[in-house]
Structure 1
Amino acid sequence: MDIVGISQKEQDAIFRVVAAILHLGNIDFVKGEESDSAIVEDEESKFHLQMTADLLMCDPHALEDALCRRVMITPEEIIKRTLDPHGATVRRDGLARTIYSHLFEWLVDKINDSIGQDPASKCLIGVLDIYGFESFKTNSFEQFCINFTNEKLQQHFNQHVFKMEQEEYTKEEIDWSYIEFVDNQDILDLIEKKPGGIISLLDEACMFPKATHETFSQKLYQTFKDHKRFIKPKLTRSDFTVVHYAGEVQYQSDQFLDKNKDYVVVEHQNLLSSSNCSFVAGLFPSLSDEMAKSSKFSSIGARFKLQLQQLMETLNSTEPHYIRCVKPNNFLKPSIFENNNVMQQLRSGGVLEAVRIKCTGYPTCRTFFEFLTRFGILAPEALEGNYEEEVACKKILEKMGLTGYQIGKTKIFLKAGQMAELDARRAGILGISAKVIQKHIRTHIARKNFVSMQKASIRIQSFWRGELARKLYEFLKRDAAAIKIQRDLRRFLARKDYIRTKFSTLILQAGLRAMVARNEFRYRECTKAATIIQANWRCHRAFSDYKKLKKASAISLSRWKGGAVSRELRKQKKMVAREGTEEAFPVIREPSIPDRGTEKIETLIMEVENLKTLLRAEKQRADQYERKYVEAQESNEDRRKKLEETDRIVHQLQDSLNSVSQDDVFHVKSSFRAENDLVYFIKTDFNFWTR
C-alpha cells in the first residue's frame, strides 16, 4: 500500500472497514415478539453489532434499525415496516456487499491514480487475469457471471485464432477446406440477447416486487424450452442447466434475484454518509432525493454485461496473447499430476480444440524472405542461382521431399510437423558445419596456443634462470651475513656472560667480605660485651661479698664494742668500788695501767672509717659498672638493628642475584647459602650473649 501511495491513515481506515465487514457478517437474527419482525439473536451478535458500529463510527441503534427495518417512501407518507430474520439477513449481506464494493472501487481508483497512465498515449500493455470456467455442486449468480465472461473470451479466442487464420488463407489465395470449430455464439445469445436473454429476463423479474426465483425459473423454462443450450432438470423446480462450451453447468436460481438487485438503500446511504470517520463518509457521499429516487434499482447483471462489453472492445483494439493456466492437482501439493483433471481443464479451456484445428489447417507460415533466411542452407544451389524467392523456396521444399504444403502470394504454409522436420535437418547441417568450423577453430587455437606457450615457456625459463641466480646470490649473501651475525652474537653473548659472571662474583665477594667483616665485628662486640658482663658480674660478686663482710664487720664491731663497753663499765665500776674502798680503807696504790683499751678502740674506729671509705669507693665502682652495663645493652641494641639492616641488604642482594641469568644462579645461590648459614650462626651466638 505504501508503494501505490496510500497513506498510513488511509491504510488504518481500510483495515477498519474490512474488519467492520467481517463483524457485520457475524450478526445473526431471530424472530422478534411481533410477527414478521427480527431482532439480534444473542450477546455475541450484539457484540459484533457494537464492533461494526464502532469501526464504522456510526450509531449502533441506527445500524440495527437499518438492518431490521425497511423504509418505504410513498407520495403521501413514509412507511417503516419490520423485516423477518431472512429479510434482515439479506439486508445485512446487501450492506456488506455495498461497503465492500465501494471500498474496492476506491482502491481501484487510487491505484490507477498512483500508476499515472498517460491518457493521451495510444499504446498500452494490459494484463487480464480472471477465473477460469467454474462448475461446483452449488452454482449461483457468481458462477453464472464468471462462466458468461469465459464464454465471451472463448468467442474472442475463436475469432482471433481460427477466423483470423482462415482469413489469412483466403488473403494468400491458397487451396484450403473450411475448418469446423465449435462456435459459442448461440450460448452468448442465450445469455445476453436483448430482449429474451437470461439476463434480460432476470432484470425483468427483479422489477416485479412479487417475483420469486421460482417464477423466474418458470419464465426461463417457457422461453428456452426448445433451445439446445438450455436444459430443464427433472428433479428440481427452480434449477436450470446451460450447456457451455466447456460442459454442462446446473445453476441454482434461489438467490439470483437478490444478488442481481443493487438497491441504493437510503437508510444505509444516510447511515454511512453521516459516519464520524471521514474515510467511510467519503465512500458514501450524500444523495439528493431526486438522485435517490432515480437510483432506486440497478441491475448487477446489466452492469456486468456493460463492463464486459467495454472489456471486449478493449481486447478487439489490441493484439492479445493468451495464457491458459492449468492446475495439476486439487491438493495444492507439488509433484502430483492428475491426468484426468488436467485433460478436463485442457478440454474445457478449448486448448484441445485449438490444437485439433491447428493440426487440421496449416499451423506454421513464414514469408518467403524469412523461409529463405532460415532454411537456405538446406539447398545452397537455390540461393546461388538468380531465382525468385517463391521458386527458391519451392526448390528447397522439393529437395527436402515435403508434400502437402501450400505456397501463397507472400507466405509458405506448412502442415503440422513439417517445420519441425525442416528445423531438424537444418540443425543437422548446422551441426556438421559447426563441427568443421570447430575443427578449424580448434586447430587455429591449438597452433596459436602452442606458439604462445613456446614463447611463454622461453620467457618463463629465462625468468626462472635469472630468478634462481638471484636467489643463489641472495642465499650466499644471507649466509655470509648470518655467519657475521652469529660471530657478533656469540661475542656479544660471551661478553655478556663474562660481565654477568664478573658482576655476580663482585657481588658475591662483596657480600662475603661484608659477612666476614660483620662476623669479626660481631665477635669483637660480643667479646667486649662478654668482658663487660664478666666485669659486672665480678663487681656484683665483690659487692655482694663486701656487703656481707661489711655486715659481718659491723656485727663483730658492735659485739666487740658492746663487750669493750661492758668490760670498761665493769672496770669503772670496779675502779669506783676500789676508790670507795680506798677512801674507806687505805689501799696500797698499784701502778696505773696504760689505756690499752682506748687505743684499740681508736684503732678499730680508724679501721671502720677505712672500711667506710672502701665501701664508698666500691659503691662508686658498682655504679660505674652499672652505667657501663646499661651502655653495653644500648650498644647491643644498636648492633642488633645494624644486624637487621645488614640482613635486609643481604636479602636485596639475593633478589638482585635472582635477576641474573639462569646459568649463574647455581653458584651464586651456593655462595649465599653459605652466607646465610654464617648469618644464622652469628644470630644464634648474638642471641645467646644477649640473653
Structure 2
Amino acid sequence: MENQDALIKCIMQDVGFSEGRPVAACIIYKSLLQWRSFEAERTSVFDRIIQTIGSAIETQENNDVLAYWLSNTSTLLLLLQRTLKASGAAGMTPQRRRSSSATLFGRMAQGFRTSPAGTGLTYGNGVMIGGLDASRQVEAKYPALLFKQQLTAYVEKIYGMIRDNLKKEVSPLLGLCIQAPRTSRASLIKGSSRCHANAVAQAALIGHWQSIVKSLNNFLKTLRANYVPPFLVRKIFTQIFSFINVQLFNSLLLRRECCSFSNGEYVKAGLAELEHWCYEATEEYAGSAWDELKHIRQAVGFLVIHQKPKKSLDEITHDLCPVLSIQQLYRISTMYWDDKYGTHSVSPDVIANMKVLMTEDSNNALSNSFLLDDDSSIPFSVDDISKSMKQIDLSDIEPPPLIRENSGFSFLLAHAE
C-alpha cells in the first residue's frame, strides 16, 4: 500500500517524457507488472489510477493537460493490450468475437490477434523489463480487465474533449469565413478607391482564415509536445476538417447571399490557406484532412467556373462536382448569382434534367436532404493504431525523482541485459 501511495503521488505530477515515451504510462505499467496486480482477484490500485486520471482532466479547457493524458492513456492501453489476456477469451465463438469488435476495446483485442508480427507494440521474445519477461502474456483477473475497459473509455473521452475544444475554437471563425465582407456602398465607389476597398475586405476575410490556421498550429504544437501518437493526431485533424467542410457547405446552401461568384473567390482563397497548412503540417500529422473538404471545394469550384450555361449536366456531375448529390447541385445552381460579371447559372435544360432526376430519387428518403451531417464518433481503427506505433523499449526509462530513491521501486532501475 505504501508503494501504491508513492506511485499515485508520483503520477499526480507531470513527470514528462523520456525520448518521446510517456514516463507515467511506463512506470505505471512496470509497477503493475512487478506487483502482479494484473493477476490479483482484488486490488485498489486500478481504481486509484483511474481516479487520478479523472481528476487530472477535470479542467476540460486545458489542452496541454488533455494531450499529456491522451499520450499516457493510449500508451498504457496498448501496453496492457500486449500483456493481458482474458481467461476463456480463446474460446469465444466467431459471432461473439465479431460483436466485441464494435468497441475500441474489442477492436484492439481483435487487431492484436490478427496483426502480423512486427506491427504494433513489439518487444521481442525474452526482453526483460525490471527482471520480468515482458513478452509473456498474463492471464488477467476481473479487476485488470475492468481497468483496461475504463482506460479505453478515458482514451475515447480525452480524444473527444481535445477534438471538441478545437471545434469550439474554430466554429465562430467559420461564420466569418463563409461570406465575403461587403464594403460600404462598394457599388458606388469608382476606380482606385473601389480597388482599395475590395483589397481591405479581402484582407479582413483572409485574416479570419489565418486565425483558423493559427488555432490548428497551436493544437498541433501542443499534441506534438506531448508526443500524442501521430495516428491520433491525424484522426483529430481529419475530423476537424470534416467539421469545417460541413459547416461551410451547409452555410453555402442555406444562404443565397453566400452563393455568389465573388463569395466563391473569397472562400477559394481561404481554402488555399488550409491546403497550405496541410502541406506544412506534413502527411504524418495532417493525414487525409484536405480530402475532407471535397464538398465545399467542389461547391466553390462551381461558383467560380466561367460559362456555366454551356456546361452539360454530365460535365457538372462527373467532372466538376462528382461528390455532390443532385439535390445539392440543384440547390446551388438555382441559388447562384453573379455579383461581379452579371453572368447566368446553368441552362434551363440542365435545371429541368436535375428536377427529373430528383423526382426519380424522391422515394429515397436519404436523398431528400441536401445538408451534410457532422460525424462526432470516435474513429479509431485498431489496425491503423498497431501499424503506426513504433516499438517501445521500457528498459531505460529513468524513474522520476519522487520514487528514484525509494527502495520499493528499485525494479525500475533494472535495465535489460
TM-score range, shorter chain: under 0.3
Larger radius of gyration: 1
In the superposition, the TM-score normalised over structure 2's length comes to 0.20
